[in-house]
Amino acid sequence: MPLDPDAVLLTDRVAIVTGAAVGIGRATALALARFGAHLAVCDRDVDNMASLATDIEAAGRKVVTATLDVRDGDAVREFVAAAAEQLGPVDVLVNNAGGGFHAPFLDVNDKGQDSLMRENFTSVTNFVRATEPFMPDRGGSIVNVTSIEAHRAAPGFAVYSAMKAAVANLTKTLALELGPRLIRVNAIAPDVIPTPGIGEVAVTTPLPRAGNVDDVAAAVVYLAGDLSAFVTGTTLHVDGGNLAAGGWHRADDGGFHT
């Protein structure tokens, strides 16, 4: 059917956003609310979660919050069920929670590796399995936030990078397996996005500016709604052109060098 400006709206849809207290997760939750969605949000950051809930309610939307460790499968299932009970069927799931630490691969012990795997990969599988039964017959959208590191080497972040690559691959498989349910599954791979977790970043991207968390939130809004109704199994790179640039870097004079 012909496009209509209202196709971008998410009026009265229900969205879950993980790792929502700050950074990309917070910007995403607020953007979804401003476009009309009700929110269920979770994080371990109690204070910032409380202020996020206030901001969502100020936008005129309902909100359910939980202090939650996304690695805990039982807690995830309880949260999703409670969200669906209070808000209704879940139309959108945004798997944003994740994180890592810098260390050479050989210096990462068993405990550290297990933590990285559970936070960046198992959290996604936990939420997908928990949420799918609560998605409506008309389908829905799952958006997995990965990283440019899923698509290139990442010295010092080997396990984190491998888990993000695993999520990118899982995204493709889930797009096929959940397609008959009209559930679309896509990923977003950001880079050069300053957040509280990483601070400011050097700008050597083809676009001569840093990104911001709202750039990523905008991509989520697109993938969550009807404008992307025929988009599934793909990764949207919100990186200022860094993946395309490969080893090329923009110099101060506007040229490029390796």
Both tokens of residue 32? 């979804």
Both tokens of residue 187? 């990923």
Active site residue 222: no
CA separation for the pair 46, 109 (Å, rounded): 29
Q: Where would I find the H helices in the chain?
A: 23-34, 46-58, 73-87, 110-117, 123-131, 158-178, 213-224, 242-245
Q: Is the dihedral of CA 256, 203, 148, 183 positive or negative?
A: negative
Considering only CA atoms, give the Rg of the chain.
18
The catalytic position among 160, 186, 187, 224 is: 160
Q: What backbone phi and psi angles, to 5 degrees, belong to 17? A: -130, 125
Please identify every residue annotated as catalytic.
160
